[in-house]
């Protein structure tokens, strides 16, 4: 686990103190995993936020828009405004996210927030199976480090990242660098590595970031 983390940390760019450009209009949010359970609700909330001008969804398939429309109807979500929501097929494990150069540069120069939700949920996989997802975190952190607006990154982790916590006190809501506290499965281990990778991206590359450890099960409630 340590060697895997170190490999991606070593490829992070050093903070060059580039000047952050002011955001003159509403926020532009990049969202990964928009077709997942949590991602679809986040997309719905973002699309109803008047402070969000544009939403860019990076998904593994080219049919993400259709899938969200179908699942959205079943979940009672609002229809999306095509003028505000853009779906792009992406490969997050690719250094340029599988995007054309001009598209990548556009995102780098306009995205103000990133929400990273995309992650395979498989409790039988070994750690190595999650390496493409860890690479995706590194690649998005790299984009944030180089972005003109100095994009803020929220990584959606899991309580499985600290599933092996043995302390008498509650699990601290701070970065944990002891990789042995992850649940003894590839899913939890990969999530903790990604958490630490984001922490290192803040330290080394100056990326503004936060981590949210979500429970395995959560109930969605609509508040009127």
Number of domains in the chain: 1
Tens of pLDDT, residue by residue, the chain (224 residues): 888 999 999 999 987 665 555 555 689 999 999 988 888 889 989 998 999 999 999 998 877 777 777 766 667 677 788 889 999 999 999 999 999 999 999 999 999 999 999 999 999 999 999 999 999 999 999 999 999 999 999 999 999 999 988 876 888 888 989 999 999 999 999 999 999 999 999 999 999 999 999 886 655 555 44
Identify the pLDDT of residue 69: 74
Which range marks the domain in which residue 150 is found? 2-12+27-214
Identify the pLDDT of residue 224: 46
Identify the pLDDT of residue 218: 54
Name every residue whose Cβ is closer than 8 Å to that of residue 70 and which is 6 or more positions away in sequence: none
Identify the pLDDT of residue 223: 46
Q: Could you tell me if 206 and 29 are in contact, meaning their C-beta atoms sit under 8 angstroms apart?
A: no
Q: Could you tell me if 135 and 93 are in contact, meaning their C-beta atoms sit under 8 angstroms apart?
A: yes
Name every residue whose Cβ is closer than 8 Å to that of residue 178 and which is 6 or more positions away in sequence: none
Please report whether residue 60 resides in a domain. yes
Identify the pLDDT of residue 217: 60
Please report whether residue 174 resides in a domain. yes
Please report whether residue 20 resides in a domain. no
H/E run at residue 211: strand 208-214
Identify the pLDDT of residue 22: 55
Identify the pLDDT of residue 153: 98
Please report whether residue 147 resides in a domain. yes
CATH code at position 132: 3.40.50.720
Please report whether residue 69 resides in a domain. yes
Identify the pLDDT of residue 167: 75
Identify the pLDDT of residue 220: 55
Please report whether residue 143 resides in a domain. yes
pLDDT digit string (tens) for 173-204? 889 899 999 999 999 999 999 999 999 999 99
3-state secondary structure of 58: strand
Please report whether residue 224 resides in a domain. no
Which tokens sit at 58? 């990076």
Please report whether residue 17 resides in a domain. no
């Amino acid at each position: 686990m340590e060697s895997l983390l170190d490999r991606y940390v070593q490829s992070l760019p050093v903070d060059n103190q580039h000047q952050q450009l002011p955001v003159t209009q509403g926020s532009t949010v990049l969202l990964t995993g928009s077709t997942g359970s949590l991602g679809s609700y986040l997309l719905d909330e973002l699309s109803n936020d008047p402070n969000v001008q544009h939403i860019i969804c990076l998904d593994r398939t080219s049919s993400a828009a259709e899938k969200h429309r179908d699942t959205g109807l079943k979940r009672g979500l609002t229809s999306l405004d095509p003028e505000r929501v853009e779906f792009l097929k992406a490969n997050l494990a690719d250094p340029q996210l599988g995007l054309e150069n001009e598209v990548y540069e556009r995102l780098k120069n306009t995205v103000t927030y990133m929400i990273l939700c995309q992650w395979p949920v498989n409790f039988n996989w070994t750690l190595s199976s999650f390496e493409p997802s860890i690479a995706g975190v590194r690649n998005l952190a790299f984009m944030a480090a180089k972005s003109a607006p100095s994009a803020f990154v929220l990584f959606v982790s899991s309580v499985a990242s600290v599933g092996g916590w043995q302390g008498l006190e509650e699990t601290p809501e701070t970065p944990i660098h002891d990789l042995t506290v992850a649940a003894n499965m590839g899913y939890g281990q990969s999530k903790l590595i990604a958490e630490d990778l984001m922490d290192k991206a803040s330290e080394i590359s100056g990326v503004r970031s936060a981590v949210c450890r979500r429970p395995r099960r959560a109930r969605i409630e609509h508040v009127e």
